[in-house]
Structures are given as structure tokens and as C-alpha cells.
Amino acid sequence: MEKYLNFILQYPTLILSGLTAVYVFLTFMILNQMRNEREELRRPYIQIRSYLRERAVECLQIKNVGQTAAEDVKFILDKDFFQHGDRKRNIKELPIFKNGIKSVPPKMEYYIDLAQYQLFFSKNRDENIIPTSFTITCIYSYKYYFFSKKKVKEKTTIDIESTEYTTLPPGDVPYWLGIISEKLSELIKLLKK
């Protein structure tokens, strides 16, 4: 009888040991996933985009939209691009592209004029001078847990040709001018009374 009792008690202990091992493994996986998600939220993200400034000049905006600084930032352009069609002003030769940037803190922005918007769609445009599509590779690193660094390599394709015949939403300036105009009208009415 005692043999059977010991034998029966061994199975639950064995089952509990197995469940504990599964629980430890799942806890480790959950903690690892949480650590990765936290890193993704905190790391730097270098955003590169084109935009139309004052509805006349196509510009390049480079911005760290992440939560920490990007370090040792390097930019590689796949094509030559000559600012405003001037053969003496290749943007590859600008310090930001030629030398890189030591550190880009969060929310830091850089703006680079490319060319007047109409030059991108001119019949006389030379694709070797003002390309309508080009790729910028951005390589940077950031501090990753204590003393280690993690390296990131991202490619962004700027495709200005796809913006032809599109419109831009009104920016903040027209909105605020409308508000100011309304408030001034109200103020003038009050002063007339």
C-alpha cells in the first residue's frame, strides 16, 4: 500500500515541477517582450521626408522623432542632387551629408532646400541634376542598456514625382489668421459700443 501511495504522490510533484518550469519560461518570454517594447518606445527614430515650403520650394526635413539621442549619424545618398539646379551645390557635399552628425537629440530638426517645386516637373529638367526620386540611407547608433550601443540602418526613398497634381492641406498659419481675424472683429465691435 505504501508503495502505491508514494507512487501516486510522485505524479503530482512531477506535474507541478513541469508546470513551474513552463511558468518560468513564459514569465521570461513576457519580460523579454516587455523589454523589447520599452526599447522600441525609447529609441531614436530619424525621420527623413520632403515637404513643400511656402508652396514654392521643395525641402528635405531630417528629424529625430524618438525619445533618445541618435549618435554617430551618417547619411548616404544614392544619387547626386544639385540644390536649385546649381552644379556647384551638390547636397552630398553639405557638411550634414559629408561629415555626418555626432548627436541628434530628440525633436531636433534639420531643413535643407532642394529646389523650386516647378523645377522637378520642367520639361528641360536633367535627372542627373535634379532627380525626382532618390534614396537616403541613414546609419546611427544609440545607447542600449548600460554601456552597449545598438546600430540602426534605415532607408528612406524620397519620391517627389508622386506629388505632382496633389495639393497640400492648409497649414497652421491660415487657421490662426482666421482666429485672429475673428477676434479682431469682435474687439472692433466692442470698441464701437
pLDDT at 43 over 70: yes
- Alpha carbons 15 and 25: distance in angstroms, whole number: 15
How does pLDDT run across 137-167, given as a tens digit for each residue? 999 999 877 778 889 999 999 998 887 777 6
- So where are the chain's domains? 1-42, 45-176
DSSP 3-state of 72: strand
pTM: 0.69
Cα angle 84, 88, 89; round to 5: 50
Give the pLDDT band of residue 62 (cuts 50, 70, 90). very high
In the three-class reduction of DSSP (H, G, I as helix; E, B as strand; rest coil), residue 30 is classed as helix
Instruction: Give the phi and the psi of residue 140 in degrees, each rounded to 5.
Output: -155, 170
Q: How far apart are CA 87 and CA 115, in angstroms?
A: 12
What pLDDT is recorded for position 157? 94
